[in-house]
Amino acid sequence: MSFVGKHANIVELVGANTERIRKQDVFLIFEFCENGNVLEYILARREYFVDQFNLSESSKHVQNIKSTTVEYENGISRRLCSGDLIQWAIEIATGMDFIALKNVYHGDLAARNILLTRHLVAKVGDFGLAKELKDYSLYVQRMNCPLPLKWMPSHATQPLYDILLKCWESQPQDRPSFSDLMQMFQHELDKLPIN
């Protein structure tokens, strides 16, 4: 992972203990991301999710959804809303763009491998399946594996859904780059009625 380098949207490798490397025991130390992974964060807060694309007329008077808080067992937290999900998509695309420019193939990009800092900044982590592509920039998967698509977001607008569909194009050249995704998601974030 040291070949990836430092970036605001990549979980930082802080250190390693190689004292027992002959026994293949290496302990890695990563920065602490207080809010855990995106998957668990979303699941824990789904009951209070605010769909900013489909706000009812009665709730449109809310000026700042992000200031609305909910009390959880382990403390108080602001509500999860559409804007958070799109902001994380931008941050994930930013981190992935950085590692792609380093010719690194992540290999396991999933919500469980995206960690959230104290201030809810998304960081790409778990580089256990990462491969450094030294002399070529295109990774070809040799096995015929099913796509890891379990579900599509029920709260996505048609433009967001279309972006996600483009990411699953069978031909790599037909998929948007991470840089393109950053711009597309930013465009969708800018359209939110309440930010």
Please state, in angstroms and rounded to a whole number, the distance separating the CA atoms of residues 129 and 113.
Answer: 11
The pTM (predicted TM-score) of the whole model is 0.80
Token couple for 125? 């982590």
Q: What are phi and psi of 157, to 5 degrees?
A: -75, 170
Chain centroid to CA 38: how far?
Answer: 7
Residue 2: the pLDDT is 56
List C-alpha distances in Å: 126 to 72, 109, 168.
28, 8, 22
Q: Which of 51, 97, 108, 180 is catalytic?
A: 108
Where do the domains of the chain lie?
Answer: 33-190
Please state, in angstroms and rounded to a whole number, the distance separating the CA atoms of residues 195 and 186.
Answer: 12
14-37 tens-digit pLDDT: 888 888 888 888 888 889 999 999
Q: Assess whether 126 carries a catalytic annotation.
A: no
Contact 192, 86 (CB under 8 A): yes
Among 66, 14, 58, 44, smallest CA distance to 189 is for 66
31-88 tens-digit pLDDT: 999 999 999 999 999 888 888 888 755 455 454 555 566 665 666 677 899 999 999 9
Helix 82-101 to helix 178-190 angle, to the nearest 10 degrees?
Answer: 160
List C-alpha distances in Å: 78 to 25, 98, 174.
40, 29, 38
pLDDT bracket for residue 157 (50, 70, 90): confident
Among 37, 36, 60, smallest CA distance to 50 is for 60
How many CB atoms are closer than 10 A to CB 170? Answer: 7
Amino acid letter, residue 98: F
33-190 domain in CATH 1.10.510.10?
A: yes
